[in-house]
Amino acid sequence: MAQQLAGSKTRGATGILRVLCLLFLCALAIAGRAADSRPNILLCIADDASWWHFGANGDTVCRTPTFDRVAREGVNFRHAFCSSPSCTPSRGALLSGQDFWRLEDGANLWSRWPSKFAVYPDLLAKAGYHVGLKGKGWGPGDFKQGGREHNPAGPAYKDFATFLKSVPPGKPFCFWFGSQDPHRPYERGAGVKSGHRIEEVTVPPFLPDTKAVRSDILDYYFEIERFDRDVGEMLKLLEQTGQLDNTLVVVSSDNGFPFPRGKATCYDAGTRMPLAIRWPPRVKGGKVVEDFVSLTDLAPTFLEAAALKPLPEMTGRSLLPLLTSGKSDPARDKVFFGRERHANVRASNVAYPIRAIRTSQFLYLRNFEPDRWPAGDPPLYGDVDEHLSIDGSPSKQAVVEHGDKPDVKRLFDFAFGKRPAEELYDLSRDPWQMNNVATESRYTETKAKLHAELDRYMIETKDPRASGKGAEFDRYYYVNYVTGNGAGKPVEAAPRNRAKP
């Protein structure tokens, strides 16, 4: 009897165990299905490409069929801006979803990444995503001094195919493809060799229209086309493995083209970014969005797409409502950006600090240190193409070497001359932002309004420049081991920055 009872108890316990096991497996299956339904996230980011130079944005010379496809089958943003027109702070802002001026060391080029700032790839990894990086992630700079083992954009993989093979079954992935195109240096004449003709090029009015400049622009196009082909290969892989449609694909850039008055400036050529997003299950294709968005909006977008909540410290706002509803958001009528230190190109390694607000009609800039040289100290003016400051790019040479000629002098001043404390451009009359109307009385009211809006936003987002602490940015360490104004030596850091963080 006792044995029968014991037997029945054992059988009872076994039955309960079986039920528990079944429940556990069901829970796992449900969790697995939930994980399956989350989208993969693929960010493809060019290095130094401006908004204009993509087919879907109106360029008739540069061939970008992949970008055009993503734009056509998804959403093309016509007013997307980086947080700062410089690789490191732009990428840091994108990864953290915060305005670059909130990132301490990370606000500068060749800086250290402070590990206290959360980045979306880590948050997605914690939520079960398989995360990887190919190419240029956050940087240039040093993330190891901040305590990280791998780049904030993800652990590095040889290529996308290798990464895809490493994704565990049932797990969504998050991948960052950071091309080094179209960053300088260029192979001279590559654009012409690839079949382009220099007569085809439209030279923006802030550059001299010479053969050398045209050829330089074609070399830049050659590299954008290579970036576009690389992205095309990745999409093909996703298509072949049946994963394309459940992948949120983003194609963009980190800052504008590396030409005078482009990269490292807060004019549109430095800050206006290509941005196309494709995600068929949630986003109807063929849409063009005019709302103003920032690349800081991407991190909260990715988190929301993965059913996570954006962090409270993120100043960017998810683009999902715009993407899924197709309705314009009246609050997205402006965007803010700026810059601190780009290359080490001024005495004492100081920055050229700018903060800016861009609306559909106006660009308003505040230059906090107008006595400094915006593009770097003469004679090198090295901020435009920092590690080429010795020989310079053909376009920079065209401006610098002929700066004493009357027709080029104006362009030289635009690119390298000192600037007043305030600049205001009326884009309805001046799309290339070459006629500063800040001192014209008819714009007094507009200027005051934009000034106040910029102030308000800087205070709200705790910009050190808003509370008189802007000099902090100049004291952050400059991890420069490529060049620095041609010196090629690490720059001495301020004493408090010499210690390990």
Residue 223 lies near Ca ion (rule: CB under 5 A): no
Q: Indicate the SS3 state at residue 488.
A: coil
Where in 145-164 is the site for Ca ion (CB under 5 A)? Answer: none
Binding mask 310-349 for Ca ion (x = CB under 5 A): ----------------------------------------
Residues whose CB falls within 8 Å of the CB of residue 486, separated by 6 or more in sequence, listed in order:
380, 382, 389, 390
Q: Which is nearer to Ca ion, 47 or 219 (CB)?
A: 47
Give the Cα separation of 483 and 91 in Å (integer).
Answer: 21
Q: Which is nearer to Ca ion, 94 or 167 (CB)?
A: 94
Q: Read off the tokens for 61.
A: 């010379």
Please work out the total of residues on this chain that contact Ca ion, with binding judged by CB under 5 A: 5
On whether the CB atoms of residues 105 and 113 are closer than 8 A, the answer is: yes
| Shortest reach from residue 138's CB to Ca ion, in Å | 12
- Which segment (26-34, 82-90, 286-294, 446-454) binds Ca ion by CB under 5 A? 82-90
The candidate with the shortest Cα–Cα distance to 452, out of 466, 431, 439, is 466
Side chain identity at residue 52, one-letter code: W
Q: Read off the tokens for 456.
A: 């308000």
DSSP E strand boundaries for 180-279 = 247-253, 272-273, 275-278
| Shortest reach from residue 460's CB to Ca ion, in Å | 28
DSSP alpha helix (H) spans, 291-405? 298-305, 320-325, 394-400
Give the Cα separation of 288 and 293 in Å (integer).
Answer: 13
Q: Which is nearer to Ca ion, 318 or 395 (CB)?
A: 395
On whether the CB atoms of residues 422 and 438 are closer than 8 A, the answer is: yes
Q: Which is nearer to Ca ion, 130 or 184 (CB)?
A: 184
- Which segment (48-56, 162-170, 264-272, 345-353) binds Ca ion by CB under 5 A? 48-56
Q: Which is nearer to Ca ion, 344 or 446 (CB)?
A: 344
* Dihedral, 105, 111, 117, 120 alpha carbons, nearest 10: 150
| Shortest reach from residue 184's CB to Ca ion, in Å | 10
Q: Which is nearer to Ca ion, 49 or 306 (CB)?
A: 49
- Write the burial class of residue 298 (CB in 10 Å: 0-12 exposed, 13-18 middle, 19+ buried): buried
Residue 297 lies near Ca ion (rule: CB under 5 A): no
| Shortest reach from residue 82's CB to Ca ion, in Å | 9
Q: Indicate the SS3 state at residue 335.
A: strand
On whether the CB atoms of residues 107 and 473 are closer than 8 A, the answer is: yes
Q: Which is nearer to Ca ion, 254 or 385 (CB)?
A: 254
Q: CA geometry: angle at 184 spanning 179 and 186, to 5°? A: 100
Give the Cα separation of 264 and 269 in Å (integer).
Answer: 9
- Name the residue whose CB lies closest to Ca ion: 87
Residue 47 lies near Ca ion (rule: CB under 5 A): yes
On whether the CB atoms of residues 279 and 107 are closer than 8 A, the answer is: no
- Which segment (21-29, 239-247, 253-261, 451-459) binds Ca ion by CB under 5 A? 253-261
- Which segment (163-171, 248-256, 293-301, 317-325) binds Ca ion by CB under 5 A? 248-256
> Beta partners for 335?
358
Give the Cα separation of 157 and 141 in Å (integer).
Answer: 19
Residue with tokens 């290798």: 162
Q: Which is nearer to Ca ion, 184 or 447 (CB)?
A: 184
| Shortest reach from residue 149's CB to Ca ion, in Å | 24
87, 201, 251, 305: residue in contact with Ca ion (rule CB under 5 A): 87
Residue 48 lies near Ca ion (rule: CB under 5 A): yes
254, 268, 297, 386: residue in contact with Ca ion (rule CB under 5 A): 254
Residue 179 lies near Ca ion (rule: CB under 5 A): no
On whether the CB atoms of residues 493 and 485 are closer than 8 A, the answer is: no
Where in 392-431 is the site for Ca ion (CB under 5 A)? Answer: none
| Shortest reach from residue 295's CB to Ca ion, in Å | 12
Q: Which is nearer to Ca ion, 136 or 317 (CB)?
A: 136
Q: Which is nearer to Ca ion, 46 or 365 (CB)?
A: 46
Positions that interact with Ca ion (CB under 5 A): 47-48, 87, 254-255
